[in-house]
Amino acid sequence: MKSIIAGLLSFIVGFMCYALTLKLVWNESLGGDAYAVLIWGGFFFLIGIPMYLFMISLIDESTRFSKHKYLFYPLGCMLAYFVPAAIIALISGGVSAIFSSELLLFHTFFLSSGFIFGITSWFFRRKESSDYLKFN
């Protein structure tokens, strides 16, 4: 249930950052495209959330990251998107394509949603462990 809450919250923040970037960078609004962005954004729940959960499980399994999970959860979730996207952009368009204005919207969506998912997951897990310690 907590992963669903983290996923919904991260999607909402990512969508808001997408719309804000569209307005600030291109001085455009979503208008009628909002529904299309929301529908295509639904793939986020099929691909993004499992990828984020996988990153968090890798961080949980590693003893190196145990003291600083509040940093590594969001960083891992953000990199889970950025690294594959950067590789694809590098292959298809070179180094300049990684930071192109066309990819800026996707970067803001996925980096902000990864950050929120990581922070929210860390908060829920920290709360669970503190509740566990209180009862034992």
- Whose tokens are 């566990």? That residue is 132
DSSP code, position 64:
T
Phi, psi of 65 (to 5 degrees): -100, 5
> For residue 41, what pLDDT is reported?
78
Q: What is the pLDDT of residues 51-84, one digit of tens each?
A: 999 999 999 998 787 788 899 999 999 999 888 8
Alpha-carbon distance values, 101 to 38, 88, 98, 104, 108 (Å): 21, 15, 9, 5, 11
- Euclidean distance between the first and the last CA atom of the chain, given in angstroms as a whole number: 24
pTM here is: 0.86
| 135 contacts 93 by C-beta, under 8 angstroms | no
* Dihedral (CA of 122, 124, 130, 132) sign: negative
- Compute the distance between CA of residue 45 and CA of residue 39 in angstroms, rounded to an integer: 11
Q: What is the pLDDT of residues 91-125, one digit of tens each?
A: 888 888 888 887 888 899 999 999 999 999 999 98
